[in-house]
Amino acid sequence: MSEQELIEQLKNKESQRAAFKSLVALYERKLYWHIRKIVLNHDDTNDILQNVFIKVWKNIDSFREESSIYTWIFKIATNESLTFLAQQKRRNIFSDGTGNEYLASNLKADEYFEGTEIQRKLQEAILKLPDKQRLVFNMKYFDDIKYTDMSEILGTSVGALKASYHHAVKKIEEHLNGE
């Protein structure tokens, strides 16, 4: 099924439910890992992911097709995740500059983390980055999302994204090497 056909079926009340099931199956894993890399915790990720799909269901009729449905859904997921993080930071009294103590403690306590020690160190280094830069880094390093797609999702120019990624890599390597 092409994206255009999927959109048509999503907007048709009779085929909407079946089309939505296809949409969920198509994007659930990509969206899950995108959100998970932002908020780290599985339970938080699950809540946000379900909220994203509910939002998509409620607003499918107003989807203007100015971007691809993939970009549209990822935008929603990114905004929901960043909003969630902002709420967590407002609840945090102490800050290490990034306000990511909540995430750092999530990482330490996460029963669903099965990486090596160096992978844990990498995650700790990533957490030191500002949220948007962390987002850029994750989308490029782990998901290999094209800069043009990233630009649409994040609303930032390709040039700025490339610069941001380059600086993120430098900071992370310094952290990994104890600098």
DSSP SS3 for 22: helix
Under rule CB under 8 A, residue 166 binds other proteins: no
Evaluate whether 79 touches 112 at the Cβ level (below 8 Å).
no
Residue type, 42: H
């310094």: which residue's tokens?
Answer: 174
Which position among 18, 21, 59, 86 is part of the footprint of other proteins (CB under 8 A)? 21
Closer CB to other proteins, residue 2 or residue 177?
Answer: 177
Tokens of 25: 């199956």
- Least distance from other proteins to the Cβ atom of residue 81, Å: 15
Residues 6+ apart with CB under 8 A from 121: 175, 176
d(CA 48, CA 41): 11
- Least distance from other proteins to the Cβ atom of residue 177, Å: 6
> Considering only residues 36-65, where is the footprint of other proteins by CB under 8 A?
36, 40, 42, 46, 49-50, 53-54, 57
- Least distance from other proteins to the Cβ atom of residue 4, Å: 23
Evaluate whether 104 touches 135 at the Cβ level (below 8 Å).
no
Interacting residues with other proteins (CB under 8 A): 21, 24-25, 28-29, 32-33, 36, 40, 42, 46, 49-50, 53-54, 57, 110, 112-116, 118-120, 122-123, 141-142, 169, 172-173, 176-177
